[in-house]
Structure 1
Amino acid sequence: MKKTFSFLWVLCPILLFGQANPHLVVAESGDGIFSILRKQGLNPAKYYAEFVELNKKNLRNGSELHLGRAYVIPYAEDSFKRTAVQVQADKNIEESIFKSELAAISPKSTKLKNAVIYLISGNSQMKTSSSVNKITDEITMNLAQELMVHGAQVYLIQSEAENNNAPVQETKYTKTEGAMADLSQMQEYVEIINKKYLKHHGKYQRLLITRVNDNITNEHCEVSVYHHNSSEDGRRIAANIQRIFNENSIESKPFKEYTEIFTERNNLYLAKNALPAITLIEIGSGEKPSIEDVILVNSNQELLSSIITSGVLNDYADLEIEK
C-alpha cells in the first residue's frame, strides 16, 4: 500500500502539470465559437463540442462567448498551426506558416491525412529579382495552404535570409534546369528533412521544389517537371503532376508524358541524400519556350498551386489503391 501511495504522490503533480498550461484565447468583438476556433486553426465542426465542454462555466446561454474573457482552446494535433510549419534551417526554428490568415481558411478533405510534404522555394538559392522571388513565394505559400486543407503535414524549409526577406542582387536567369549555388545550405536542408522523415516513418512523404525563372507578365507561362532518374517514386509523382498540367494546357496538342532529369549538382545532392522522393516544378515566362515539349498553362498563381496539389492527390490516391 505504501508503494502505491508513494507512486500516486509522484504521479499527481505530473498529471496536474500537464494540465496547468492550457492554451487560452481572449474573445474579441464579433467572436463566436466557430470563429475563435477557426482563428486558432481548428476545424470548428470537429472541436465545437470539446470547446463547449472545456468552457461550459464561462459561456452565456450554453454557447455564447463573453467579450474580453479568456477561453480554453482544445489541444489538436491537426490544428493548422501544427500541420503547416515553417522551419528556419540555419537556426532550426519552427513556427506556424499561417497566422492571421487562419480565420479565412477551412478544411476541404482528409485525403492527405497520412501525407508529409516538404516544400522548398527553388529561388532561395539563386540571385533573382525581388519580383520573381515574390511570385515564387506566393506560389509556394498557396501550395502549402492547398496541401494543408486536404490534411497533409506541410514543412516549408527556409533559410534565415528568406525568413527575413533579405534583398538579393538581381540577375538574369537563363533556364538550364538550375543554378542553386549554396551546397552547404542544401546540407542543412537535408539534415532537417531526413530527421523529420524518420519521425514520420511509414507515411507518404515527398519533397517539392517550386522555382520561377523569370517574371510572369503574360497570361500564360511554361512549366517543366524534373525528377531523379533512380527514384521510381520521384518519377511517378512528377508524371502525375505533369499529367494535370497537360490537362490544363492552353495548347491543343496530343498528350505526351515526359519529365526532365536532374543534372545540376545541388538538385542532385538533394535527390541523392534527402530520404523523400524529390520533384522540381520550374515555371518560366512562356515567351520563348526553352524545351520543345514544354507545357503552356494559365499563369494564375493560385491555379498553378492547385494543379500541383491535384498531382500530389492523384499520386497519393494511386499508391493507396495499390496497397
Structure 2
Amino acid sequence: MTLNLKALRIVLFVFALFLSASTLFGQSYPKVIAQSGDGIYLLLRRHGLDPSEHLKPFLELNQENLGQDNSLYAGRTYLLPTASTAAEAAVESSPVEKATSSPAVLVEPLFGKSYERVEIKDKQLQGAVYYLIAGHSGPDPGAIGKYGAYQLSEDEYAYDVTIRLARRLMEHSATVYMIIQDPDDGIRDENILKMDTDEVSYFGRPIPYDQKQRLRNRVADVNQLYLKHKGAHQRMLSIHIDSRSKGQNIDVFFYHHESSAPGLALAQRIHEVFTTKYNRHQPNREYFGTVTPRSSLYVVKYSHPPTVFVELGNIKNDKDQRRFIIPNNRQALANWLCDGIIADYKASN
C-alpha cells in the first residue's frame, strides 16, 4: 500500500512537470533580428509593444542573449513577448514590485556611446507619450546655411536638438518615439555636424525623395502609434530651423493648429519657458518668439496627437547660428523644450 502511494506520487509529480514544460515550451514567440543602433525600448516600440508592459517579459525571454546593461547585439535574433506574457507578468508583480523593478538606468544605443545610458531621474512624465520629428532628413537636408568654409544643414542640427529632447523626456519617464532616426549619429558634441542621408523612418523604411510622400509617411507612422496609446496623454513636436535673409535675426517660435486647444496650450507653455529663460540669461535682450496658428502645415494638419511645430532660428544668420552650432546651446534648447512640456503635462493632468 505504501509502495503504491509512493508510485502514485511520482507519477503525479512527473505529470505536473510535463504540464509545466508543455506550457513553457508550447508557447511560440515572434522572432526579430536586432538592427544596428537598437535598444530594447526601440526594438519593442518598432514592433508595436509598449515597453512599460513588455520590458520585463522581454528580459525574461532573452536574458541569455543580452549584453552589458541589457544591451542588444546587432544581427542576433530575439523573442518578442506576446500580450499574454505581458499580462502574466503584470499579475505576478504587485504594484510596489512593478514600481521598484523598473530599471533606474536605460540603455538606448540610438543616443550614441557617450549618451546611451539614460538615468531615470523621476516620474514626472510617466504615462505621457511624445512623438518627436526632426525636420526634413534623408535625401532632403532642408535649409542650408554657411559658417565660414562649412555648410550647415537644417536636418542635422534639428535632429541633434530633437534627440537630446528625447533623452531628456525619457529621464522623466516619458514614452518617446523618435519618428526620424539616424542609426549611427547619436547625440553629437561637435560644432560642425557632418551631413549625411542615412536617416530612416521609425519603422525602418528609407525616406523617400518626394516631399509630400515624406510627410505622409511620417504622419502615418505617428497616427499608427497613436492608436496603440488611445486614452493616454499624447503630444507631438516637429522641430525645424528656418531660412531667411542673412541679416534677419529671429527667435525660437511656434506654430499650432488653430482648432487644437491642447496644441495651443503646449505651444504657449513652452513659449513661457523660453520667455523666462531669456529674461534670466539675456536680461538686456527682449525675447520676440511667437505662438501662431498655422493649420496648413501638413504634420500639424493631419497628425492625430496635438502638435507643435518649432522653428529654432534662421540658419543663415550669424547670431542665430550660435544658437545651434554650440553643443551646449543645443542642449539648452532641448532642456527648455522639455521644461515647457513638463509644465504642460502637469497643467493637463
Summarize the alignment of residues 120-135 of structure 1 with structure 2, pairs less than 5 Å apart: 120-124=133-137, 127-129=142-144, 131-132=152-153, 133-135=155-157
**Which among 97, 105, 108 is matched to residue 110 of structure 2?**
97
Aligned to 1:107: 120
Partners of 1:12 and 1:198 in 2: CA distance = 31
Question: CA shift at 1:98, angstroms?
Answer: 2.6
Unaligned 5+ runs, structure 2 = 1-11, 30-56, 73-100, 145-150, 186-194, 199-208
Matched, 1:195 2:224: yes
In structure 1, the partner of 2:164 is 142
Looking at structure 2, the residues matched to 255 and 301 of structure 1 have their Cα atoms a distance apart, in angstroms, of: 18
* Distance (Å, rounded) in 1 between the aligned partners of 2:179 and 2:232: 19
Per-residue deviation at 1:23? Answer: 4.5
Q: Given the superposition, is the C-alpha separation of residues 270 and 24 from structure 1 closer, same or farther in structure 2, using an over 3 Å criterion?
A: same
Counterpart in the other structure of 2:63:
22
Contact 1:239 1:257 in 2 (8 A): no
Q: Alpha carbons of 1:78 and 1:186: their partners in 2 closer, same or farther (altered >3 Å)?
A: farther
Scaled by the length of structure 1, the TM-score of the pair is 0.60
2:197 matched residue in structure 1: 166
Tell me what 1:229 maps to: 258
**1:40 to 1:304, Cα distance in 2 relative to 1, 3 A:** same
**Aligned equivalents of 1:153, 1:118: Cα separation in 2:** 9
Task: Extract unaligned runs of 5+ from structure 1.
Answer: 27-35, 42-74, 85-95, 168-179, 290-294
Distance in 1 (alpha carbons) for counterparts of 2:102 and 2:120:
14
SS in structure 1 opposite 2:179? strand
Give deviations 1:217-253, integer Å, cap 9, x for gaps: 99x9611111010000100000000000111123557
> What percentage of residue pairs aligned between the two structures are identical?
21
Residues of 2 paired with 1:23 and 1:8: CA distance? 21
Q: For residue 128 of structure 1, what is the amino acid of its counterpart?
A: A
Deviation at 1:285, TM superposition (A): 3.8
Cα distance, 1:200 vs. partner? Answer: 1.2
Instruction: Please give the TM-score of this superposition, normalised by the length of structure 2.
Output: 0.56
Correspondences of 1:1-323 after superposition (within 5 Å): 10-14=22-26, 21-25=62-66, 36-37=68-69, 40=71, 80-81=106-107, 97-102=110-115, 104-124=117-137, 127-129=142-144, 131-132=152-153, 133-158=155-180, 165-166=196-197, 182-214=211-243, 222-249=251-278, 250=282, 252=284, 258-262=290-294, 265=296, 267=297, 269-285=298-314, 300-320=329-349
Contact 1:123 1:212 in 2 (8 A): no
Distance across 2 between alignment mates of 1:102 and 1:257: 30
RMSD (Å) for aligned C-alpha atoms: 4.3
The answer (yes or no) to whether the contact 1:122–1:209 under 8 Å persists in 2 is yes
Distance in 2 between residues matched to 1:146 and 1:253, nearest whole Å: 27
Q: Residue 38 of structure 2 aligns with which residue?
A: none
